[in-house]
């Protein structure tokens, strides 16, 4: 996991401004505390800050084999061993990131569709060409700006200087860009397939596919942990990790956060004890929640209230986790695949629900995935999301929608729970869902302290220039914090919820 910056400027025969590139890289240095590198390749400048996870000794970037192609990569390629066997490229390191470079120089850019993982990368070729790529779900962030003939890329919005921010856009997930062809989709989110024929086959397939997805994401040369809220999704990830603990160096660590006595903390303790995990907690109070808000808003680069509320416990949890491990698995994506949210129950038509679930998965890069990436990378921590494995996303699309509705007990994600019968105590396996901000106790704190953030006489007449009208005093407070860090960013860059 890393931070990347790239500048492609065909107008400059000696290459783009290294000074500009370095200043952008300085602003995302928190994403890579273990190393820093840069290289100019013809009209392209590449910069990289590294969080060392795989091939600790030889995985520094920019990466470049003997034939003159160079890359900066943010993310993990989980099938890099298989890709090495079929590639004709000379590999100079054991880094998984070099598989991304191999796909980009293979001669057929359609081979990018073979990459499994979470990634955003830019490759510079020796003949002056280049390519930028982002994974189909947008698990890893990438932004770009086209200014005066130059094209600039970076992992976070903050990398762009204030005078450039009016030009910044989100680079779309599942697309590649070259100067010659522009934007081209290289892979659809769903690739289709025959519907699953019976419920028991669906349960077996869900269980086997999630187990494989978790094991893929345990790939590391450093200790690995799990964010454990005590809810179904993170508890299932933890259960699989505990069953395959020999796959990683050292013990499996679990991490939970919340206010004293909150339901998440209590449930997480029970899960960790049942699974034999090495458990850690971050207990915080109302004052800590309020005091960290400016840092949280700056980290997630968003002012959407529900995102901020859930990001606060995640931010404090990541801070605690980074003291022990560099890699953590999370439960993001399960609710969108298996209809876990309460509002899905209001959709009575199956086709409408299927459309809404697809919309939910497709929009995660502006919501939960953005939060997950930013709060962890703010502390030099890599988060991995096994529920959003390509195979599991495709499998969920093949499961008839009626099997993803609440079961006889009215419980959400019944099929997923049934698939893992016996992996957790029954009361934990069937624990009702709570939003992370609710289960951790943070939502209650925010409700209590919202009036302190924006006094009543201030709320009625104030608005942040360039941002949509705030819906609440709480949102106005977050908008102000956002503007302090990212003045000039067009709100449309933040996705549909920022402009509602």
Summarize pLDDT for 145-175 with one digit per residue, the tens. Answer: 999 999 999 999 999 999 999 999 999 999 9
pTM of the model: 0.93
Task: Please report the pLDDT score of residue 273 as a whole number.
Answer: 97
Identify whether 372 is a catalytic site residue. no
Q: Residues 6 or more apart from 205 whose CB is under 8 A from it?
A: 196, 395
Beta-strand relationship, 382-384 and 327-329: parallel
Query: What class, spelled out in words, does domain 199-499 have in CATH?
Result: alpha beta
In whole angstroms, how far apart are CA 358 and each of 72, 97, 185, 338, 353? 31, 29, 18, 11, 9
The Cα 177–Cα 449 span in angstroms is: 45
Contact between 120 and 135 under an 8 Å Cβ cutoff? The reply is yes
Task: Please report the pLDDT score of residue 182 as a whole number.
Answer: 95
Contact between 385 and 330 under an 8 Å Cβ cutoff? The reply is yes
Write down how long the chain is: 500
Contact between 116 and 390 under an 8 Å Cβ cutoff? The reply is yes
Phi and psi dihedrals of 203, rounded to 5? -60, -45
Fold adopted by 2-185: 3.60.20
Domain ranges in the chain?
2-185, 199-499
Catalytic site residue from 2, 100, 112, 205: 2
Q: What angle do CA 70, 72, 77 make, to 5 degrees?
A: 105
In whole angstroms, how far apart are CA 296 and each of 74, 292, 390, 447? 22, 6, 30, 17
The Cα 327–Cα 324 span in angstroms is: 9
Mean pLDDT by 10 residues, the chain (500 residues): 91 86 96 90 94 62 82 90 71 76 77 88 93 96 95 97 95 95 90 87 97 93 91 96 90 93 91 97 91 95 91 95 95 94 84 91 94 95 96 94 74 93 94 65 71 72 83 89 92 62
The answer to whether the annotation marks 96 as part of a ligand binding site is yes
């Amino acid at each position: 996991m890393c931070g990347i910056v790239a500048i492609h400027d065909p107008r400059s025969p000696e290459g783009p401004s290294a000074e500009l590139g370095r200043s952008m890289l300085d602003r995302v240095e928190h994403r890579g505390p273990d190393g820093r590198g840069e290289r100019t390749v013809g009209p392209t400048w590449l910069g990289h800050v590294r969080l060392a996870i795989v091939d600790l000794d030889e995985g520094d970037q920019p990466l470049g084999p003997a034939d003159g192609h160079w890359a900066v990569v943010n993310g993990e390629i989980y099938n890099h061993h298989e890709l090495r066997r079929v590639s004709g490229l000379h590999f100079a390191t054991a880094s998984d990131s070099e598989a991304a470079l191999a796909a980009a120089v293979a001669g057929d850019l359609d081979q990018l569709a073979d990459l499994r993982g979470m990634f955003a990368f830019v490759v510079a070729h020796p003949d002056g060409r280049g390519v930028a790529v982002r994974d189909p779900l947008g698990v890893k962030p990438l932004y770009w700006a086209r200014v005066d003939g130059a094209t600039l890329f970076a992992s976070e919005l903050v990398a762009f200087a204030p005078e450039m921010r009016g030009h910044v856009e989100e680079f779309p997930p599942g697309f590649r860009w070259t100067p010659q062809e522009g934007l081209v989709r290289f892979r659809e989110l769903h690739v289709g397939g025959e519907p699953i024929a019976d419920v028991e086959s669906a349960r077996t397939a869900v269980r086997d596919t999630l187990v494989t997805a978790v094991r893929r994401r345990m790939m590391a040369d450093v200790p690995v942990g799990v964010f454990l809220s005590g809810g179904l999704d993170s508890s299932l990830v933890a259960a699989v990790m505990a069953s395959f603990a020999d796959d990683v160096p050292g013990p499996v660590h679990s991490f939970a956060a919340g206010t004293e006595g909150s339901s998440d903390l209590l449930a997480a303790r029970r899960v960790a004890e049942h699974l034999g995990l090495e458990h850690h907690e971050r207990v915080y109070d109302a004052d800590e929640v309020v005091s960290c808000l400016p840092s949280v808003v700056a980290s997630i680069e968003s002012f959407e209230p529900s995102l901020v509320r859930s990001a606060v416990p995640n931010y404090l949890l990541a801070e605690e986790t980074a003291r022990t491990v560099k890699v953590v698995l999370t439960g993001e994506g399960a609710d969108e695949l298996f209809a876990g949210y309460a509002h899905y129950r209001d959709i009575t038509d199956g086709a409408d629900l299927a459309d809404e679930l697809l919309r939910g998965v497709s929009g995660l890069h502006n919501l939960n995935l953005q939060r997950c990436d930013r709060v962890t990378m703010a502390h030099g921590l890599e988060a991995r999301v096994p529920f959003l494995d390509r195979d599991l996303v495709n499998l969920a699309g093949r499961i008839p929608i009626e099997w993803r509705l609440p079961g006889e007990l009215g419980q959400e994600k019944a099929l997923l729970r049934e698939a893992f019968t016996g992996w957790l105590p029954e009361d934990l396996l069937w624990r009702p869902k709570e939003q992370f901000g609710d289960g951790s106790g943070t939502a209650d704190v925010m409700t209590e302290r919202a009036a302190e953030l924006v006094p009543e006489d201030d709320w009625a007449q104030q608005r942040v220039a360039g941002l949509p009208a705030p819906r609440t005093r709480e949102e106005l407070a977050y908008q102000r914090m956002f503007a302090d860090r990212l003045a000039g960013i067009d709100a449309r860059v933040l996705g549909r919820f920022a402009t509602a």
